Chain A
Amino acid sequence: MMNILVVDDSAMARKRIKESISKLDVAYSIVGEAEDGLVGLEQFNLLKPNLILTDLEMPNMSGLDLIDKIRKLDDSVHIIVISSLANEQVKQSLKHDRFLDFIKKPVDERVLKILLLKVEHHIEKGVHL
């Protein structure tokens, strides 16, 4: 069972992600939603999810700051960045993180599915690849 936290300032985007995930026939459940990094961090501490799906550009606390804060608390929780930001610099700065993947908006559901399966596989096996 995977517990997922979704962080995105667009309610539309959160709804879309939820729909995409509910279409996959695996036991994922979205345990929390947040509209910015600040709420996301609170939710993370409260819910202890296995996976965080986060946007990058958000008011109050950006996705990059959220990832920084989370990594100080937990260096191996899985994070998938879902962003429309086509900034090569940002991508490079996230490249070294072994438990982080990047999906560009608009999301290709096939790519999302493969990444979720990968994360599930890691969590189930407890193997850090």
Chain B
Amino acid sequence: MKLENYNLLNIKLKTFNIAIILFELFVILFMIYEITVLDEIQKSLAKAYSDKFSMIQTADKLRQSSDDLTHFARSYAVTKNREFEKRYLNTLKIRNGKGGRPVGYNGIYWDLDENTRKMKHPKGARESLHSIIQSLPFSKAELEKLQTSEDNSNELVEIEVQAFVAINTDNYDLAVELLHSQDYYNAKHKIMLPLDEMITMLENRTSQKLILLNASITKQFQYVFIVSLLFILGNILIYILLHKKINRPIKYLTGEIKKFQNEDTTVLKKIFYKDEVGYMIEQFFSMEDSLNNQKSILNHLNEHLQDIVTEKTADIEKQNKELSNLMEQFDKYIIASKTDLDGKITYVSEAFCNISGFTHKELIGQSHYIIRHPDMQKEVFQNMWNTITSGRTWKGEVKNRKKNGGFYWVSAVISPEYNLNKELIGYSAIRNDITAQKEVEELSQNLEQKVIEKTKDLQREKKFIQVLLDSQEQLIITHSGNEMLSANETFLDFFAIDSVENFKEEYKSACICETFNTNAPDGYLQKMMKNEEWIDYVISRSFGITHKVMITRGSSDFIFSVSGTKLPGKDERKSVVFTNITEMENAKSAVERAKLEIEEIHARTQASIEYAALIQSALIPDNVVARRYFKDYFAIWHPKDMVGGDIYFFEELRNEDECLLMVVDCTGHGVPGAFVTMLVKAIERSIVSKIKNSDEVVSPAKLLSVFNSSMKHLLKQEDESSISNAGFDGQIMYYNRKENMLKVASARNEIFYFQNDVLNVIKGDRQSIGYKDSDVNYQFTEHTIDTRQGTTIYFFTDGYWDQPGGKKGLPFGKKRLKTLLTEVHKESMADQQEEFLYTMKDYREEEERVDDITIVGIKI
């Protein structure tokens, strides 16, 4: 029992659901079946009743017609009325099916008067009683009784016929006597007795059938009751199982999830049954475990995030600088190129141009075929294309054509190039110049051949070879096994010896490998390389690999690139060439040092610029002072870089009613621009001090002219030969509070002001301050504005309307600026400042800033 219970609870919910559905379906189907069966029984019962009724009625018809006949015969005999004779014959006709049977004949008929009879009971079909009996489901025994009764009726009819004969012969007494005789009664008895017996039989038979039918109904009802009971018990069982399998685990799991959300760690792990809910709970716990793990990892990461961000930003900046330096060096020293997928050149390094003799312009867009040398076998390129198009890197040695028809050998590494989406976009190649090496290699290969060819004049040949070898800059030796056979003059010179024998004595070895520097860094040749003698190692890896060896002589390290080849002939001789690449290697480390120096210089420059920014900040006026003069005021000064070529000045003049504002946009931006701002500041200081010491009326237009001549003088721009061409555009405003008067003048840049909500634009004079070509005698235009009616005035540098942005990258423009001014000019200056800044930010989006921006707004 215990085990069964356990099994039932472990059933999968899916299986369990199917079982429930099958069970419910079984009950429903059974009920439908029962309804059909009961309906059938009901129909049989109704038919049995109706049959019984019809049969008894028919038996009664037999009795009735017999009684009618007796009645009419007797009445005829007594009354001699022929009407009764007619009725008697009619009754006989109807009984035998020779006359139509009136409708409702077995009810009240003959006792009604003739008219009513005809009206209420019209004649129906002819139907003999005999045929009616045959059509009903009488049993054989019953039919026999009926037949007996019918047969016996002939006797009675015989008597009645005798009586009718007597009437017709006027012997009425005989007729009456015959119809009331003992014989007549006996005959009547013979008819009625089987009829009576038949009715009793019929009663018995039909009653039995009815009892059977009723019993079967009772039985079906019992079935229904039992199945209903099963249905109720089954559903109770289902409820209990579902409660245990689903409700309880879910309630438990909900509790655990709430605990988890509240970070309550008192977990009580409980697995219920091996069904889907059990699996779900298991999954929850494993999820909870992994979430807890992740959470602790996240917490840990969070704690370090800020540090990492700062560190990474610094790191990335440093790497960027290094990268750009490296790229420069790379371009200079590495023979590199890139092509698109069709082999069209998209990039070549400076080194590439130098070696090939083509210019940058001649190469870009051309096919790489341009440098292909006719000596190169097609198969090599075939092999290269097959390798790189299949996404692998190709290495090999290639002979290339120079522009002047010459050639050079390179050891090339070509690899496919991918973009960020990992799509193949082209190929890049990096090469090493191995022309010299190649020449010697080829030479070595041909050496032996030449010796054989020239055996006729061995002496001359030897001399020739010696000359040939000595003409090289390389160290060349021949080797047999581990023993050195011969060496060229350069080799002897390098080791400061007379002969190979001398070398063997001095280094106590027959092999040059004894002189290899065993402390050289990785990548340098050693005596043994991967279980191979160095010489065999070099020869077996001749293709595309540069071998380097370090040899220490005296106090200096020399670096050689090494290549070797087997000489033809049976004696297994090999020749090796050492090319001195010490200078090249040293140049590489010189590049590294130069990079460090550049970084240091950059850092120093950065510090200087920061200091310069600090100095320039000191020139910016304190806005608190300016604010005292006006109803409302704002100033934006945003240099593009740390320092800028924009500047603005605000000066209090001779009394508390007079002030001067100047907005200046000097040549360029960044450090050069900043230098010019310093100069302008110096001139401005001297001009302001002059004004303070005089009673003259201040005129902005005249001030601009003074600036112009001072700039030209200070920068020595007065004659044509001057190389300085600096200057500025800008606006000057003089305000007198007492007189409600504003005077402005402008070099180049517009001045915008509002009075009574109407925008007025003052165009700047088409003349800059300073610069070589400006007119020293130029008269600037002065504009006077009456401020009694309230005025809002703005001064911009062109950095604002020249800034590109928007979808098409077009400048912001003055039209847009006028619209913006019209929209915002009534707001507070603090709010307007926000609007100017954010409108520009939204317009610029990701575009780079192009110039310094200065805006001053004043409400009077």
Contact = CB atoms under 8 A, between A and B. Distances in A.
Given A11-B831, A12-B835, A13-B834, A87 B306 contact: no
A106 B613 contact: no
Contacts of B616: 88
Interface size class of B (residues with CB under 8 A): 20 to 34
Contacts of A88: 610, 613-614, 616-617, 642
Which one of B306, B830, B837, B841 has the highest number of Cβ atoms from chain A below 10 Å of its Cβ? B830
Nearest to A58: B830
Given A86-B638, A88-B614, A12 B827 contact: yes
B1 interface: no
B618 A12 contact: no
Interface in B347-363: none
A36 to B, nearest CB: 10
B636 interface: yes
A64 to B, nearest CB: 10
Interface in A74-98: 84, 86-90, 92
Contacts of A59: 627
A121 B614 CA distance: 32
A129 B306 contact: yes
B637 interface: yes
A121 B831 contact: no
A121 B306 contact: yes
A121 B308 CA distance: 14
Given A105-B837, A114-B309, A121 B617 contact: no
A13 B638 contact: no
Contact of A10 (B618, B624, B830): B830
B617 A84 contact: no
A84 B620 contact: no
B309 A10 contact: no
A96 to B, nearest CB: 15
B531 to A, nearest CB: 56
A33 interface: no
A39 B711 CA distance: 47
B623 A57 contact: yes
Contacts of A121: 302-303, 305-306
Interface in A93-129: 105-106, 114, 117-118, 121, 125, 129
Contact of A106 (B623, B627, B830, B838): B838
B834 A87 contact: no
Contacts of B828: 9-11
A84 B837 contact: yes
B234 to A, nearest CB: 53
B303 A84 contact: no
A62 interface: yes
B65 interface: no
B641 to A, nearest CB: 11
B831 A10 contact: yes
B614 A10 contact: no
Given A84-B638, A86-B638, A106-B841, A16 B834 contact: yes
Given A86-B638, A106-B841, A121-B303, A92 B614 contact: yes
A62 B624 contact: yes
Interface in A1-54: 8-13, 16
Interface in B630-649: 636-639, 642
A113 B758 CA distance: 41
B833 interface: yes
Contacts of B246: none
Contacts of B617: 87-90
Contacts of A129: 306
Contact of B306 (A58, A84, A86, A118): A118
A59 B830 CA distance: 10
Interface string B291-319: 00000000000110110010000000000
Given A13-B834, A86-B637, A86-B639, A125 B610 contact: no
B840 interface: yes
Interface residues of A, number: 26
A58 B634 CA distance: 10
Nearest to A122: B306
Contact of B636 (A16, A84, A90): A84
A89 B837 contact: no
Nearest to B639: A86
Nearest to B824: A12
A13 B835 CA distance: 9
Nearest to A10: B830
A125 B302 CA distance: 11
Given A92-B614, A121-B303, A16 B838 contact: yes
B833 A84 contact: yes
Nearest to A36: B830
Which one of A58, A88, A90, A114 has the highest number of Cβ atoms from chain B below 10 Å of its Cβ? A88
Contacts of B303: 121, 125
Interface string B227-269: 0000000000000000000000000000000000000000000
Contacts of B833: 10, 84
A12 B837 CA distance: 12
B830 A8 contact: yes
B642 A13 contact: no
Contact of B831 (A12, A86, A114): A12
Contacts of B618: 89
Given A9-B830, A84-B833, A89 B614 contact: yes
Nearest to B620: A87
Interface string B816-860: 000000000001101101110110110000000000000000000
Interface string B171-193: 00000000000000000000000
Contacts of B831: 10-13
Given A88-B616, A89-B618, A114-B309, A12 B623 contact: no
A92 B613 CA distance: 11
Interface string B593-613: 000000000000000001001
A114 B637 CA distance: 26
A92 to B, nearest CB: 6
Contacts of A114: 309
Interface in B68-86: none
B148 to A, nearest CB: 109
Nearest to B642: A88
Contacts of B827: 12
Contacts of B841: 106
A13 B306 contact: no
A106 B627 CA distance: 22
Contacts of B620: 87
B214 to A, nearest CB: 80
A111 to B, nearest CB: 11
A121 B306 CA distance: 9
Contacts of A117: 305-306
Given A87-B617, A89-B617, A106-B841, A10 B834 contact: yes
A91 to B, nearest CB: 8
Which one of A11, A87, A118 has the highest number of Cβ atoms from chain B below 10 Å of its Cβ? A87
Nearest to A115: B306
A122 B837 CA distance: 31
Contacts of A89: 614, 617-618
Contacts of A84: 636, 638, 833, 837
A59 B614 CA distance: 25
B653 to A, nearest CB: 23
B841 to A, nearest CB: 4
6 contacts: A11-B828, A13-B830, A57-B623, A62-B624, A88-B610, A106-B840
Interface of A: 8-13, 16, 57-59, 62, 84, 86-90, 92, 105-106, 114, 117-118, 121, 125, 129
Q: Which 7 A-B pairs have the closest CB atoms?
A: A10-B830, A106-B841, A88-B613, A88-B617, A89-B617, A12-B831, A9-B830
Given A12-B827, A86-B639, A121-B306, 19 more contacts: A8-B830, A10-B828, A11-B831, A12-B830, A12-B831, A16-B834, A57-B623, A58-B830, A59-B627, A84-B636, A87-B620, A87-B637, A88-B617, A106-B837, A106-B841, A117-B305, A118-B306, A121-B305, A129-B306
